[in-house]
Amino acid sequence: MEEKSKEKRRTRKRIDPQWITHSIVVIVADVIVVLFSYFAALWIRFDLQFGKIPEEYLSTYLRIMPAWCVITIVVFFLFKLYHSIWTYVSMDEAFVMVKAYLVLAICYILSKYLMKIDMPRSFYFFGIFIALVLHVAVRFSYRATRFIVNRYSKNSELRTGDVENVMIIGGGSAGSVLIRELNSDTHQNQRPVCIIDDNPSKIGRELYGVPIVGDRNDIVEKAAEYDVGSIVLAMPTASPHDRKDILDICKETGAKVRTLPGVYQLANGEVSINRLKDVELTDLLGRDPIEINNDEVFKMLRGKTILVTGGGGSIGSELCRQIAAHKPKQLIIFDVYENNAYAIQQELIRKYQNKLNLVTLIGSVRNTHRINSVMQKYKPDIVFHAAAHKHVPLMEDSPCEAIKNNVMGTYKTAQAAAAAGVKTFVLISTDKAVNPTNLMGASKRICEMVIQMMNRTTPNTNFVAVRFGNVLGSNGSVVPLFQQQIAEGGPVTVTHKDIIRYFMTIPEAVSLVLQASQYARGGEIFVLDMGDPVKIDDMARNLIKLSGYTPDVEIKIEYTGLRPGEKLYEEKLMDEEGIQTTANRLIFIGKPIEMDDEWFKKKLEELDRDSQEDDENIKKYVQEIVPTYKPGSM
C-alpha cells in the first residue's frame, strides 16, 4: 500500500514536458523584452541616436541587465505568470502583470542603491513602461495568433459549407462566453452568425463581432436570413414563462435547439459548449418550479432516522439524495432490486463518505418478517414508502402482482411502522388512483384507503399519502422514450391524438413529498397543482421540431391506440374528497373519505388470499372495494 501511495504521489508530481517547453520559450521572450526595453529607454532618452549615448551608460546597462533579467524571472515565477494556459489568457493575467511590475519597480529601486547604479530617471520610467507593454503583448500574442488562425480556418470551412451557422439567443454573460468559445475552438464545426436579445438598447450592436439582429419576434425571420442550422438558448436566468415562449417560436424555424441547463451554470463558471443540452419537456412546461419551505423541512429531517422503501427507484433515490443533504441521524435504503440500491448507495458514499450514517438493505415489502425485523431493529422516525409496481400495461397483464406488491406491501409496511412507533408514514401515490380505469391505479387507491384506515386505528403514527402525476425523467416515462425514438429516426409512437397528462419533474415530486411529511397531521392526501395539462401529441411534435426535424415528414408520428386501462385524461381529486389549501399555494389536501374499517380489513384479507392464488377474478374483487374503478371502460 505504501509503495502504491508513493507511486500516486510521484504521478501527481509529474510535470508536463509541453508546459516546460512553453515556459522556456516565454522565459526567453521575457529576457529579450527586458534587454530590448531598457536599451530602447536609453535610445529614446538620447533622441533616438545611438551615437549620443554616453559610454558609461552603456557599460552600466551591460552590467545590470543580467541581474535585472534574473529578478524579473523570479518575480514572474512568484506571481505564477509562467503557469497560465496561453490559449485562455485573459485580462486577469494583465492585472497580475501590473502587480508584478509594482514589485519589480521596488526591486529595481533597491538595486540602484545596492549596485550603485547611476542612470537617467527617464531610463527607469521608459524602460518599465515599454517592458510592461511588451510582456503583456507576449502573453496575448499566442491567443491572438490562435484566434486569427481559427477565424481564417472557420471562414474557409464556411465557404465550403462545412460549418453550421448558429443563432445565440441572449446577449448577456452566458451568450458572450459561448460566442468566445465557438470562435476560438477549432474542434467545433459551428460559427455564431447572429444574436437575438430582447433589450432594445443592444439591437444593432455587436458582441465579439457577432451582430445583435433583433428580439424574440425576429427569430424565425433572422434564422432564415442567416441560414441558421442550430439555435442556442443562452438565457439561464430567464423565467419559465419566457423560456417556453421563446422555445415555442424557435421550434418553427426548423433548426435544432439547445439550451444551458440553468442559472447555476453561471455561478459555477460552467458555461460551455460542452454543457449544452437538447431541449426537454421541462423547458416547455412554462411554469415556475415547485418551491417548499426549506427551513421547516430541513429542520424536520435533521437528526432523524429515516427509512425509504423502494429507495433505488426514480423517486426513492431522489428522496435519498435530498434527505442525505440535510444531516439525518441515519438514512436506511430498502429495496428489492440490488442493482438500484447499490447505485444510490455508492453515489451517496462518494459524496458524503463518512459524514452520512447510511444503511442499505435488500428486501421486499411483501415479506412480513423482513419488513417487521427492519422496522424493529432501526426504529425509524419517518418512513417514505416509494416501493411499488407502477407500469399500467404490465399490471393489467399481472393484476395479482400489483395487489401483492402495491396493496399488501403497503399494508404490511404500514403495520410494521405502527408497531415500531414510527412518527410519520408517507405513501407515494398517483393521480391514476382517482376514478381508476386500470388495475395499477385501483391498487394505489386501495393503498390510500389503507393509509387512512391505519391513521384512524393507530393514532400514534401520522399516516399520509402524496398524489401526483407523471414524473419527467423517471424510469419508463414518456419523454425519454420519445427522445430515443427521435434519435433512432422514428417513428414516434403516441397512443391517442387527444390524450393529455399532468407533468412534474423528479425534484418537484420529491419536494412535494418532503413538504407533505412536514404538513402531516394524519389521514391527509396531499395533491399538487401541476399547472395546465400537456397534450402528449403536442409534446411529441414539439420535441421533434426542437430536435431540428419536421413532424410527419422527417420523423413520423404513429398513433397506436389507448393501452389497456389507459384514460384520455387524469383527475387529481374525487368529487367527495373536496379540497383544502396549505401554506404552499401549489399543495392541496383531499379530505379522508369515511368507510367501514372492519369491513375493509376483511376485504384486504380476501384480496391477500385471492392474489396468492392468482385468482382470475381479482379485478372484480378490487371493484368491490373501489366502486369508482371501471375496468369495463378499458
Least confident range from 20-24, 190-194, 297-301, 452-456: namely: 20-24
Class of domain 164-279: alpha beta
Integer Cα distance of 512 and 374 in angstroms: 26
> What is the band of 265 on the pLDDT scale with cuts at 50, 70, 90?
very low
Q: What is the pLDDT of residue 267?
A: 38
Task: Output the pTM of the full model.
Answer: 0.59
Per-domain boundaries in the chain: 14-151, 164-279, 298-471+503-529+571-633
pLDDT above 70 (res 125)? yes
Q: For 360-389, how does the pLDDT look when each residue is reduced to its tens digit (9 = 90+)?
A: 999 999 999 999 999 999 999 999 999 999
Integer Cα distance of 501 and 527 in angstroms: 15
Q: For 4-58, how does the pLDDT look when each residue is reduced to its tens digit (9 = 90+)?
A: 444 444 444 455 566 677 778 888 888 999 999 989 988 888 888 888 888 888 8
Average pLDDT of the residues in 212-229: 91
Integer Cα distance of 103 and 98 in angstroms: 9
> What is the band of 84 on the pLDDT scale with cuts at 50, 70, 90?
low
Integer Cα distance of 99 and 122 in angstroms: 21
Where is 610: in which H helix or E strand?
A: helix 597-612
Q: What is the pLDDT of residue 29?
A: 87
Residues paired with 472 in a beta bridge: 505
- Helix %, strand %, coil % for the chain, to 5? 55, 15, 30
Q: What is the pLDDT of residue 565?
A: 57
Integer Cα distance of 530 and 533 in angstroms: 8
Integer Cα distance of 105 and 123 in angstroms: 12
pLDDT above 60 (res 274)? no
Q: What HEC string does 346-358 produce?
A: HHHHHHHHHHCCE
Alpha helices, DSSP H, located in 79-218: 91-114, 121-159, 173-184
Percent of the chain with pLDDT strictly greater than 90: 26
Class of domain 298-471+503-529+571-633: alpha beta
Mean pLDDT of the chain: 80
Integer Cα distance of 63 and 119 in angstroms: 12
Domain pair 164-279 / 298-471+503-529+571-633, same fold: yes
Q: For 467-480, how does the pLDDT look when each residue is reduced to its tens digit (9 = 90+)?
A: 877 666 655 567 77
Average pLDDT of the residues in 598-625: 88
- The secondary structure of 273-316 as a DSSP string is GGG-EE--GGGGS-SPPP---HHHHHHHHTT-EEEEETTTSHHH
The x, y and z cell numbers of residue 389, run together, are 409496481
Cα 76 to chain centroid distance, Å, stands at: 40
Backbone angles phi, psi at 558, to 5 degrees: -115, 135
Between the alpha carbon of residue 124 and those of residues 68, 117, 120, 128, the distances in Å are: 12, 11, 7, 6
Integer Cα distance of 435 and 593 in angstroms: 14
For strands 210-214 and 164-169, give the pairing: unpaired
Integer Cα distance of 123 and 110 in angstroms: 15
pLDDT above 50 (res 296)? yes
Q: For 300-350, how does the pLDDT look when each residue is reduced to its tens digit (9 = 90+)?
A: 889 999 999 999 998 899 899 989 988 899 999 999 999 999 999 999 999
Q: What is the pLDDT of residue 344?
A: 94
Residues annotated as catalytic (active site), given as ranges: 432
pLDDT above 80 (res 155)? no
